[in-house]
Amino acid sequence: MFAKLGRYKYKQWFWGYLFVLPVMAGFFLFMVYPMISGIMLSLYKWPGIGPKEWIGFGNYLRMFHDVHFLRAVGNTVYYTIGILILGVPLALFWAILLNQKFLKGRNFFRLIYFLPTVTMMAAVSMVWRWLLSPNYGLVNYFLGLVGLPKVNWLLDPKWAMPGLILMSIWKGTGFNMVIFLAGLQGIPKTYYEAAEIDGATAWHKFRYITLPLLSPTTFFVVITTMINSFQIFQQAYILTEGGPREATTTIVFYIYKNAFEWFKMGYSCAQSVFLLLVLVIATLIQWRIQRRWVHYA
């Protein structure tokens, strides 16, 4: 019997390497190799074909003096802050609504709220192009019904980004809601019962029990939302094509333009490396803090 177990140990080595081989091969060929070659390319000036010209950190220096790139960073931050300020609290609000025990059809409503998150962003963006159309769009129609003026959503530099934020909140909030719901259900009911005996109001329970005990979930949602928002591309590409007047040119959109419309491959790679660095730092902070999180309850 022990001999068999011993033989199994070496069988495990063989089968173990064999089983992880395809996935590890995919990882090294399609992720590690491109990452390294992207970092290399960022040190060259290269129009996509022909010889590469070594310019060291030239692309990186140029990046921080390029008003268009800085604008793209600003737009991306604007979008991210919009989602964080409006989208995340809304997700929490939905989760609290759906967590009420008396509510009938909770699963049904959860399904409805979650539905847009699984649909194709490209197709949804087309739908929102139509919803936000200035004269015949449904959004302006409803604004008119409640007596508000029409907004020239996607054609006005002031309103284009709010339009994108509106659509993204409509599409993505259900996702964070599900995570918040799981967090809410993890809070022991005894805390609320004890508070009720002490005569606590709904607000007190929310402020002194729900919020502090939910803080690890909130932290997770905020960081992942930030990371995802920083990569915003499709909405800008489809709804507004980065315009009007660069109002929705985001970092990834600018990276795409540089590479595939202006053929500044090296410069585009330098921006990608910059973005990757930002995302990696955000993720590391999350992993770090998530692991040794303490409640303040």
Which residues inside 188-227 make contact with other proteins, applying CB under 8 A?
Answer: 202, 220, 224, 227
Pick the binder of other proteins from 45, 71, 110, 205 (CB under 8 A): 110
> Minimum distance from CB of 295 to other proteins (Å)?
19
Pick the binder of other proteins from 77, 143, 238, 244 (CB under 8 A): 238
Only segment of 52-60, 77-85, 94-102, 190-198 that touches other proteins (CB under 8 A): 94-102
The C-alpha angle with vertex 223 and arms to 91 and 64, in degrees rounded to 5, equals: 125
1 binds other proteins (CB under 8 A): yes
- Residue 53: φ, ψ to 5°: -110, 120
Whole-Å CA distances, 201 to 14, 92, 185, 196, 295: 62, 19, 20, 8, 22
Helix, strand, coil shares, percent, the chain, to 5? 75, 0, 25
8 Å CB contact between 128 and 167: yes
CA distance 279 to 69: 17
Of 14-33, binders to other proteins (CB under 8 A) are 15-17, 19-20, 22-27, 29-31, 33
293 binds other proteins (CB under 8 A): no
Only segment of 56-64, 65-73, 97-105, 154-162 that touches other proteins (CB under 8 A): 97-105
Q: Select 128 or 159, whichever has its Cβ closest to other proteins.
A: 128
Beta bridge pairs of residue 53 = 45
Pick the binder of other proteins from 54, 64, 141, 206 (CB under 8 A): 141
> Minimum distance from CB of 26 to other proteins (Å)?
3
Pick the binder of other proteins from 118, 146, 197, 294 (CB under 8 A): 118
Rg over alpha carbons for the chain, rounded to the nearest Å, is: 25
Using DSSP's 3-state secondary structure scheme, residue 105 falls into coil
148 binds other proteins (CB under 8 A): no
Only segment of 58-66, 150-158, 192-200, 230-238 that touches other proteins (CB under 8 A): 230-238
Pick the binder of other proteins from 44, 69, 79, 94 (CB under 8 A): 94
254 binds other proteins (CB under 8 A): no
Check whether the bond before 244 is cis (ω within 30° of 0).
Answer: yes
Nearest to 236 by CA among 214, 213, 254, 223: 254
- Provide the residue type at 174 as one letter: G
> Minimum distance from CB of 146 to other proteins (Å)?
13
Total residues binding other proteins (CB under 8 A): 92
Q: Select 187 or 279, whichever has its Cβ closest to other proteins.
A: 279
Pick the binder of other proteins from 60, 62, 77, 109 (CB under 8 A): 109
130 binds other proteins (CB under 8 A): yes
Q: What is the DSSP string of 36-103?
A: HHHHHHTTEE--SSS--EE-TTHHHHHHTT-HHHHHHHHHHHHHHHHIIIIIHHHHHHHHHHHT-TT-
Q: Select 85 or 276, whichever has its Cβ closest to other proteins.
A: 276
